[in-house]
Structure 1
Amino acid sequence: MTELQTLSPDALAAMTPRRRQTLAVLLLAASLLCAPLDGFAQAARRSGDYIVAVVNQELVTNSEVLQRLQRTEQEATRSNTRLPDRDTLVRELLDQLIDERAQLGAARDGGVRAEEADIDRAVTNIAAQNQITVAQLRERLRTEGMEFARFRNNLRDQILLERIREREVQSRIRITDADIESWLAQQREKNGAATEYNIAQILLSVPENAAPALVTQRRQQGVALLQRLRSGEDFATLVREASDATKERGGEMGLRRADKLPDSFVEAVSPLRAGEVAPQVLRSGAGFHVLKLVERREAALTVSQQHARHILLRVGPKLPQEAAVRRLAGYKRQIEAGTARFEDLARQQSEDGSAANGGDLGWASPGQFVPEFEQALSTLRPGSIAEPVVSRFGVHLIQLLERREQRLEPREQREMARAALREQKAEDAYADWAREVRARAYVELRDPPGQ
């Protein structure tokens, strides 16, 4: 059986919490399809399982701890990650299971549900990702000693956990405008990007070591010019009349990066909207300045966009999910063999509004597609086709055409900042909520039989 395709760190970082949570369910469920249990778990089965903890009304068994230990050690081997000693690791994993049981209780008490259709979709996706049918998945589970009903229950629990975590964590996160501006400034600095300003000025020069009377006269002249501007006079006209700097283009300095302008100029115009005049006359080594913000061009932030197309088959009594998966898998083989073209099959077979365009979905930014669709896209190289993917809309055959980095508009930058900040704050919010749930739970640890 092929493993689920591994996502790059960049692909994972680009996902929203909800998309990563959906992926986590698939990966955790797929990990149940790993090699047969090692000696520790087999020994537990031979000797009879036993309860290691009671959490409210839920039980944690020794075999669950050993299975979690096996998966953790296998993943550490694949990723070359160093683990603590086994006794410490077992204690940590037991603690995780206790937290999960307490959170499952909170989910059920809070009315969180996972419908049978949700579990069906997860099962079908796991089978499709591993390029087998659901029937073959059931057989593989049977040969490894896992009942299919238990596998579905494990999936149900994971879906409940992710839903209660998302609901509780997101309700605790607060993001202010100041948070957004700070995040954007950090990103621009990290990317070497800077906001650009086009500033127009009236300069009233003051020679070095000028007499105090001249300094006072120039300051008063600047204040008078500022008052005339407030009364409605034209900035460019006053530039021609009084400025000792360039008089061309109304005294404009042209677009310049913020780091190429005097800090005092940037501070003076940063709060302004285009067309506004700084409220105070500014003093510098060159003299006195009356400043007007002509244009602000925010530093560019980019996002990775994807251009994809798909064929969608809607499932129902006439076309069960497994049949749709098989049909799309056949289309994939035809396309890769060169006996059919994706766009032709999309026009003929797709049950989506994009069919007339050969299934073309155009350019899309992160978050525009359902999580299952985006997870599949993130694993593809341009030109490649994913295994059939199940979503609430039906079953998709997805091809990635190309990727690009696209400059974001200011509104899009703020949306990206808000999503990133929500992600950053989610970890602390989750930790706080998990501690509260654990504190409310009844937990009883039990020793192995005979001790």
Structure 2
Amino acid sequence: MKNSLKNFALITSLIVGSFNYAHAKEELLDRVTAIVDSGVVLESEVTDLLASIKLQAKKNNQSLPGESALRIQVMDKLINDNLITQLGERMGIQVSDAQLDQTITNMAKESKLTLAQFRESIISEGLDYEKYRESVRTELISGEVKRNTMRRRIYISPQEVTNLLAVMKEQTNNNVEYHLGHILIQFPSNPTQADMTASKTRADQVIKLLNDGSDFTKIAIASSGDENALSGGDLGWKNINEMPTLFAELIDGEKKGTVVGPIRTGLGFSIVKVLDIRGKQVVEVEEVKARHILIEPSIILSDAKAESLLQGLLNQVEAGEADFAELAKEHSDGPTSVRGGDLGWADPTKYDKAFQDALATMKPGEYHKPFRSSFGWHIIQLEDRRMVDATSQMNENRAYQMLYNRKFGTESARWLSEIRNEAYIEIFEQDTK
């Protein structure tokens, strides 16, 4: 098996080399740098990601670890992405060109740029736009695979929610949020006592470096086994109840700059730094009441035909020739069709990103032209908007989400370790000639 995979890698390299022969004077031949089950990681992918990270670090005036340590982390990410993408293919998860275009358009809007301007900004940074576009597709697939998998692996009981709500009522620090950095000194698979002792020694060394003033981000990129390593171990802002319990007990009440650890977990030794502290950001909650008609594309019904069908239905509604709800009952896919597409009152942030963005542009009584989400093609009728206070149900939802977030990081890392242990992975030495 191993020899046949090596032969496959050699053949792949020869094919790539033959394809690029005419341009050999201008660019290096690509090669397979790792075999990952039925997939491969190419040297060009490593080079592109290294260049992107270095560019981002330069923009942020952030120092990076040495080339060797950075390459190891980049290889780990690309191997993980490859495994998750293969799993996504087996699960039937796909991101169509239309969905990908919609996502990139939304990214451009968030940057207050047109799609053309966003494309030019990517190119001006020295990146290949088509490769960037495919990297976004990979991240979308990876995110969907993780969400689907975690929903099956994470269980939160009603009693856990009730207990957390009781704790939250008693807390005086519930309005404090901590910006955390995390470094994981990971155990190898099936660690021996010697492995665990060695990991503890490394973790102690990292803490000493941090306490002596070393740069947290640089050390995280070089040393962390966590999936956030390449982002400098940034865990973002978290309320004390959103953290893993072991972290919360040590972080609660600490000052900015505090380093805690090493914290022994099932994955290794964690080191956490309080990067910043702020009062909890309080915002009013808006709900929307909307109806939609959903058409799911298929082999028989293309994206273009689905969009055209919805535009025809919208034309009928706007001309006063048909009722939106009746058309939804007749034509809409999905469970809301029997209710005339009625979605009821809901927090729009719970919807698909494309659906959120569409609702954000609408006023009550308006219709939205056909657009693509991860579920298919939609048209929307926005019936009304309202501002609501925090209700007990919303507090329960918040408590549930906190518990989910608390478990997600650890369970995600455990799952990733499992699929890597079960996979055939062979990394080839870097050609230094």
Q: TM-score normalised by the shorter chain: which range applies?
A: 0.3 to 0.5
* Structure with max Cα Rg: 1
Length-normalised TM-score, structure 1: 0.45
* Higher RCO (CA < 8 A, seq sep 6+): 1
Q: Could you state the TM-score of these two structures normalised by the residue count of structure 2?
A: 0.47
